[in-house]
Structure 1
Amino acid sequence: MLKQFFITCSGADTDILESCSKGEQNKYAGIGATVFFTAVMAFIASSYALYTVFDNIFTSIFFGFIWGLLIFNLDRFIVSTIKKRDSFSHELLQATPRIILAIIIAIVISKPLELKIFQKEIDQVLLEEKNQMTLDNKEQIALQYTPVIEKLNNEITGLKREVSDKEAEVNDLYDTYISEAEGTAGTFKLGKGPVYKEKREKHDASLQELQQLREANAQKIQDRETQIATLSSEYSEKVNNTQPVIDGFDGLMARINALGKLPWLPSFFIFLLFLAIETSPIIAKLLSPRGEYDHKLEDQESAVKTWVAQKEDQRKQVLATDVVINDKVYQDISEEEELYTYKREKARSMMQLQADAFYEHQKRNL
C-alpha cells in the first residue's frame, strides 16, 4: 500500500506501470517518495515560519498544511509532465521553470529553519539592538524635556544667586556699620554717632529687603522645582510607555534582519540543503534512465497521436469530397430551363415593385 501511495505521488500512469517490471515500479515509487517528503519538509518549515508571525499553533499548522499541499501538487505536476525522451536538453528545458521556482521556495522555507538553528545568536543580536534602542529612545524623549528642565534649573540658580548677592550686600553693610561703631573705618570715631545710625538704618533696610527676597525667591524656586518634578515624571512615564514596544521588537522581520548580521556561510549551506531538497524530485526524474514505462507511455501517446491524425485527415477528405459534390449539383441545377424561367418571373416582379415605389415617392415630393 505504501508503494502504491508513492507511485501515486509520482504522477505516473498506474495502468501502464502495473504492466511494467518491479524495478520500474520501484523507480517511480522512489520518485514519488521524494515528492512526498519534499512536501513534508515544506509543511514543517512553513508552519514554523507562520508560527513566528501569528504566534498561534493551529493557524500555523493549517496554513502550513495548505502550503505543503501546494508544493506537493506542483512537484507532482512537474514530475509527471517531464517526459523521458532522447534529448536531455529538452527535458532540462521543461524543468527550468520548476528549478527557478525551487530556488525561490528554498529561500523562503530555509529562513525559518535558520531562525530556529541560530536562535541563541539572534537573541543576542536582538538584545544588543534593544539595549541600543532603549538608550536612543531615552535620548529622543529627553530632547523634549531637557531644554525646559535646564531652563528651569538656570532660573533656580539665578534666583539663588540673587539671594546670595543680596546676602553679601547685607553682610557688607553690617561690617560697615560695625566698623563705624568701633572706629576702625569710616569716620574713625569710636561710638554710635549719626553716621553709625545712618549706616545701621541702611543695613536694616537692606536686611528687610533680603528677607522679602528670600521669601519671594523661595516660592519661585518651589514652583520651578514642582515643574521640574512634573516634567521628570512625564519623562519617566513616556519612557515606560514606549519600552514595551522595544521589548516586543522580536518579530519575523526583526529576526531576519538580525540573522543577516551573522556570518553568511552557515546560512548559505542551509539554503543549499533546502535547494537540494526542493529540486530533488526534478533531479531524480532527470537523472533516472529511460525505462520500460517511458517506452510504453511513448507508444500509447504515439498511438493516440496517430489515431487523431487519421481522424483529422478523414475529416479533410470528407470535406473535400462534399465540396466537389456540391459544386456539381449546383452546376446541374443552373442549366435547368424551368428554374431559369421561374427566377426570371420573380426578378421582373421585383423590378416592377421597385419602379412603382419610386414613382409614388416622386409623386409625393411634387
Structure 2
Amino acid sequence: MLKRFFLLCSGADLELLQKCANGEQNKYAGIGATVFFTALMATIAASYALYKVFDNIYTAVFFGIIWGLLIFNLDRFIVSTIKKRDSKRKEIIQVLPRLLLAMIIAVVISKPLELKIFEKEINQVLLTEKNQMTLNNKTQIAQQFTPEIEKITIEVNALKDEIHTKENEVNALYETYIAEAEGRKGTKLLGKGPVYKEKREKHDAALAELHELKTKNEEKIQQKEAAITSLLENQKLIETETQPIITNFDGLMARVNALNKLPWLPSFFIFLLFLAIETAPIFAKLISSKSEYDYKLENHESLVKTWIQQQVHQREAILQTDKELNDRIYADLKTEEELYQYKQKTARNLLKLQADSFYKNQQKIL
C-alpha cells in the first residue's frame, strides 16, 4: 500500500509500472518518497513561517498544508515531465528549466526552517536590536520635549535668581542699619538716631518688596514646575505607548533580516541540503540509463502518436475524396436539361410574384 502511494507520488504511469520489474518499481517508489517528504518539509516550513505572521496555529497549519500540496504538485510535475532521450544534450536542455524551478522551491522551503533551527541566535540578535531601538526611541521622544523643558527650567532659575538677588539686597540693608545702630559704620554714633531710622525704613521697604516678590515668583515657579512635570509625564506616556511596537518587533521580515546578520555558512549548508533533496529526483532520472519503464513509455507514446497520425491522415483523405466527388457531381448537373428547365420555371414564377407585389404597392401609394 505504501509502495503504491509512493509510486503515485512519483507521477509515473502505474499501469506501465505494474508490468515492469520489481527493481524498476522500487526506483520510482524512491523518487515518489522524495517528492512526498519534500512536500511534507514544505508544509512544516510554511506553517512555521505563517505562524509568525498570523500568530494563529490553525490558520498557519491550514495554509501550510495548502502550500505543501502546491509544492507536492510542482515536484510531481517536474519529475513526471522528465523523459529519457537518445541524446544527453536534449535531456540536459529539458532539465534546465525544471532544475531552476527546483532551486527556487528549495530556497522557499529552506528559509523558514532556517528561522526555526537558528531561533535562539535570531532572538539574541533581535534582543540587541530591540534594546538599541528602545534607546533610539527614547532619544527621539526626548528631542520633542527637551527644548521646552529646558526653556521653562531657565525661566524658573531666572525667577529664583531674582528672589536671591532681592534677598541679598535686603540682607545688605539689614547689615547697614544694624551697623549704624551699633556705631560701627555710617555716622559711627551709638544709638538709634535719624540716620538709623532712615536706613531701617529702606530695609523694611525692601523686605516688603521681597515678600511680595517671593509670593509672585513662587506662584509662577509652581506653575512652571507643574508644566515641566506634565511634559515629563507626557514623555513617559509616549515611551510607554510606543514600547509595545518595539517589543513586538519579531515578525517574519525582522527574523529574516536577523538571520542574514548571522554567519552565512551554516545557513548555506542547510540550503544545500534542501537543494540536494529537491533536485535528487531530477538528477536521478538524468544520470540513470534508459530503463524498462522508459522503453515501455516510449513504445506507448509511439503507439498513440502513430494512431493519431493515422486518424488525421484518414480524415484528410476522406475530405479530399469528398471534395473530388462533389466537384464531379456538380459538373455533371450543369449539363442536365431537366434541371435547367426546372430552375427556369422557378425563376419565371419568382419574377411574376415580384412584378405583382410592386404593382400592388404602387396602387397603395396612389
Whether the TM-score (by the shorter chain) exceeds 0.5 is yes
Could you tell me which residue of structure 1 aligns to residue 14 of structure 2?
14
1:308-330 CA-to-partner distances (Å, cap 9, x unmatched) read 11121111111111111111111
8 Å CA contact retained: 1:75, 1:281 = no
Could you tell me which residue of structure 1 aligns to residue 147 of structure 2?
147
Q: How does 1:1-366 map to 2 (within 5 A)?
A: 1-351=1-351
TM superposition shift of 1:351: 4.5
- SS at the partner of 1:84? coil
TM superposition shift of 1:168: 1.0
Structure 2 residue identity aligned to 1:215: T
Structure 2 residue identity aligned to 1:145: F
TM superposition shift of 1:357: 6.5
8 Å CA contact retained: 1:31, 1:285 = no
TM superposition shift of 1:350: 4.2
TM superposition shift of 1:271: 1.5
Q: Which segments of 5 or more consecutive residues in structure 1 lack a partner in the other structure?
A: none
Distance (whole Å) between structure 1 residues aligned to residue 61 and residue 365 of structure 2: 87
Distance (whole Å) between structure 2 residues aligned to residue 260 and residue 275 of structure 1: 19
Structure 2 residue identity aligned to 1:81: T
Distance (whole Å) between structure 1 residues aligned to residue 28 and residue 110 of structure 2: 27
8 Å CA contact retained: 2:71, 2:105 = no
Segment of structure 1 superposing worse, 270-279 or 182-191: 182-191
1:279-315 CA-to-partner distances (Å, cap 9, x unmatched) read 2222222222211111111111111111111121111
TM superposition shift of 1:52: 2.1
8 Å CA contact retained: 1:176, 1:185 = yes
Distance (whole Å) between structure 1 residues aligned to residue 121 and residue 337 of structure 2: 104
- SS at the partner of 1:83? coil
1:15-44 CA-to-partner distances (Å, cap 9, x unmatched) read 212222222222212221221221122122
8 Å CA contact retained: 1:9, 1:33 = yes
8 Å CA contact retained: 2:75, 2:102 = no
- SS at the partner of 1:192? coil
Structure 1 residue identity aligned to 2:14: T
TM superposition shift of 1:129: 0.8
TM superposition shift of 1:165: 0.5
Segment of structure 1 superposing worse, 252-261 or 148-157: 148-157
Segment of structure 1 superposing worse, 339-348 or 159-168: 339-348
TM superposition shift of 1:356: 6.5
1:250-293 CA-to-partner distances (Å, cap 9, x unmatched) read 12111111111122222222222212222222222222221111
- SS at the partner of 1:86? coil
1:168-223 CA-to-partner distances (Å, cap 9, x unmatched) read 11122122223333444434444433222111101111011111212222222222
Identity of aligned residues (%): 65
Segment of structure 1 superposing worse, 339-348 or 264-273: 339-348
Distance (whole Å) between structure 1 residues aligned to residue 344 and residue 178 of structure 2: 157
1:101-159 CA-to-partner distances (Å, cap 9, x unmatched) read 22222222211221122222211111111111111111122223222222222122111
Distance (whole Å) between structure 2 residues aligned to residue 151 and residue 274 of structure 1: 62
Segment of structure 1 superposing worse, 207-216 or 236-245: 236-245
- SS at the partner of 2:166? helix
Distance (whole Å) between structure 2 residues aligned to residue 68 and residue 88 of structure 1: 32
Distance (whole Å) between structure 1 residues aligned to residue 80 and residue 242 of structure 2: 56
- SS at the partner of 2:289? coil
Distance (whole Å) between structure 1 residues aligned to residue 67 and residue 89 of structure 2: 31
Segment of structure 1 superposing worse, 349-358 or 31-40: 349-358
Structure 2 residue identity aligned to 1:43: T
TM superposition shift of 1:97: 3.0
Distance (whole Å) between structure 2 residues aligned to residue 316 and residue 263 of structure 1: 68
Distance (whole Å) between structure 2 residues aligned to residue 219 and residue 332 of structure 1: 127
Distance (whole Å) between structure 2 residues aligned to residue 27 and residue 120 of structure 1: 40
TM-score (norm 1): 0.92
TM-score (norm 2): 0.92
Distance (whole Å) between structure 2 residues aligned to residue 26 and residue 150 of structure 1: 81
- SS at the partner of 1:226? helix
Distance (whole Å) between structure 1 residues aligned to residue 42 and residue 87 of structure 2: 31
Distance (whole Å) between structure 1 residues aligned to residue 111 and residue 30 of structure 2: 28
Number of residue-to-residue matches in the alignment: 366
CA RMSD of aligned residues (A): 2.3
Q: Which segments of 5 or more consecutive residues in structure 2 lack a partner in the other structure?
A: none
8 Å CA contact retained: 1:180, 1:190 = yes
- SS at the partner of 1:138? helix
1:50-98 CA-to-partner distances (Å, cap 9, x unmatched) read 2222233333222222222211122112212222111233333333333
Distance (whole Å) between structure 1 residues aligned to residue 280 and residue 58 of structure 2: 29
Distance (whole Å) between structure 2 residues aligned to residue 108 and residue 35 of structure 1: 15
